[in-house]
Copies of this chain bind each other. A is one copy, B any other.
Amino acid sequence: MERFEVNILGCGSAVSTTRHYLSSQVVNLREKLFMIDCGEGTQLRFRAMKLKFQRLNHIFISHLHGDHCFGLPGLISTLSMLGRTADLHIYAQADAEKIFRPVLDYFCKELSYKVIFHIYNPKKNELIFEDRTLKVSTIPLNHRTPCAGFLFEEMPKSPHIIREMIDFYQVPVSRINAIKNGADFVTPDGTVIANRIFTRPAEPPHRYAYCLDTAYYEKIIPIIEGVDLLYHEATFSHADIVRAKETYHSSARQAAQIAKAAHVKKLVIAHFSARITDESILLNEAREVFPDTILANEGLVVEVSG
């Protein structure tokens, strides 16, 4: 199984506490690291989790509240002091560059690499990143300020080749790529051997959805339908539903309702209010609706495909 996992660096909400760090996590897909959100202290948490800075090239910022992005200047500055040369790509809303570029220009005058801001529109569900193994698209959320979640999808993989059948039909090496891509094989005497004889379907691509900060928002359900792992905020317990609504956050029960309606395989709840001292209340509340729920925690690594 190829690695596809989520490293939780911080899962507290806006007001810092001694129990949780501010929002940040790192998606590891086959040793390439993708950061989502970068609250204050992220660079320290990144080191503490023994992740490798040189494998990090992309940072996705869900929205421009300080607890999701105040760690950017320090991280960018540290990467430069470590001598980084590769471009660093930041995916964020339009104001991000306007706000952070002057800070970087002042404090990191001799940056050893380029920081490239990519603007996305948080109101649209659109593809914002793609490479050979992964695509990332935005999930419009419902928060006080424009905010997007992110859907990480593995690219479909080539089917597995059945070595024995290749040998049996004496398929030349030059034809194997075509077969991987779905072609049938024609023997020297003109017989057509169907592609399925030579291949076994690859594992279906795995999918991961990150959804915070947001009120309960049913419009995300079709976008995240059937994901392997959903990371959804549960800032409050349902007893505080009035406060959750006022602040455009979700209760643990609501996170679970979304998970159930979207037929996801596993749910991680996170972004706990500083007022919550006993998170098991949130966990139990969510599990009543969606049993396969776990609590986020600093240092936890969750397999997307596991």
Contact = CB atoms under 8 A, between A and B. Distances in A.
A65 B110 CA distance: 13
Given A74-B66, A107-B64, A44 B41 contact: yes
A82 interface: yes
A77 B82 contact: no
B71 A40 contact: yes
A142 interface: no
A74 B95 CA distance: 18
A277 interface: no
Contacts of A48: 18
Contact of A16 (B17, B21, B44, B73): B44
A245 interface: no
A15 B78 contact: yes
Contacts of A43: 16, 40
Q: How many copies of this chain sit in the oligomeric assembly?
A: 2
Contacts of A15: 78, 81-82
Contacts of A78: 14-16
A78 B64 CA distance: 15
A21 B40 contact: no
A29 interface: no
A83 B30 CA distance: 44
A106 interface: yes
B66 A107 contact: yes
A16 B44 CA distance: 7
